Amino acid sequence: MAKLYFYYASMNAGKSTNLLQADFNYRERGMATMLFTAAIDNRYAAGTITSRIGLSAPATTFDATTDLGRCIADRHAGGPLSCVLVDEAQFLTPAQVDQLAQICDGAGIPVLAYGLRTDFRGQLFPGSARLLALADSLVEIKSVCVCGRKATMNLRVDDSGRALAEGRQTEIGGNDRYVALCRRHFAEALLG
């Protein structure tokens, strides 16, 4: 039986690098994959999954209106898919996560979804919440806080490096906008 995997972590933990390595492993063995990334993530080239260490691969973009089930079924009809990999999975809608689960259960294709668990306020993203509920396997990718403890939180900072506690849930950025911290240092930073 194919499984739905959710690989989650704080910012800068290597999620995209892990995804690209998994994709390479499948393709190296002659197996077809399909990659997705969020259209909203415009930090690098559109339609490309890019890791901080310089690896990249083309991907199909998705937004809240994308029927992932249909996209995957159409591609699978043209030649068997061995795996579907989704980057920035926190931006999936709950309905899209349901579609991915159906791809596993109905078509027998494993789905590996990589994303953030929580936003800069420590709140679950809707896509991540649904993945936590439905995934057959939950895998935490570790990142490190400045103190050396496991980083689990994503602190949003302004242009001066000051912690932000208010704002839209989604604001695209990298090291210039977010700092991965342990829960204790996250709370201390918000208190000032």
DSSP 8-state symbol, 191: H
Tell me: is residue 182 an annotated ligand-binding position: yes
Tell me: is residue 13 an annotated ligand-binding position: yes
Q: Where are the alpha helices (DSSP H) in 29-93?
A: 68-77
Q: Directed axis angle between helix 94-102 and helix 68-77, to 10°?
A: 30
Tell me: is residue 83 an annotated ligand-binding position: no
Tell me: is residue 57 an annotated ligand-binding position: no
The span from the CA of 149 to the CA of 146, in Å, is 8
The span from the CA of 118 to the CA of 126, in Å, is 9
Tell me: is residue 45 an annotated ligand-binding position: no
The span from the CA of 102 to the CA of 145, in Å, is 36
Tell me: is residue 122 an annotated ligand-binding position: no
| Residue 28 bears catalytic tag | no
The span from the CA of 44 to the CA of 59, in Å, is 12
Tell me: is residue 16 an annotated ligand-binding position: yes
Tell me: is residue 14 an annotated ligand-binding position: yes
Give the position of tokens 């932000």.
164
Structure tokens at 151: 């980083």
> Do the beta carbons of residue 151 and residue 182 sit within 8 Å?
yes
Tell me: is residue 128 an annotated ligand-binding position: no
Tell me: is residue 73 an annotated ligand-binding position: no
**Active-site residue (options: 88, 140, 166, 171):** 88
Question: Which positions make up the binding site for ATP?
Answer: 9-16, 87-90
Provide the annotated active-site residues. 88
Question: Which positions make up the binding site?
Answer: 9-16, 87-90, 145, 147, 182, 185
Question: Which positions make up the binding site for Zn(2+)?
Answer: 145, 147, 182, 185
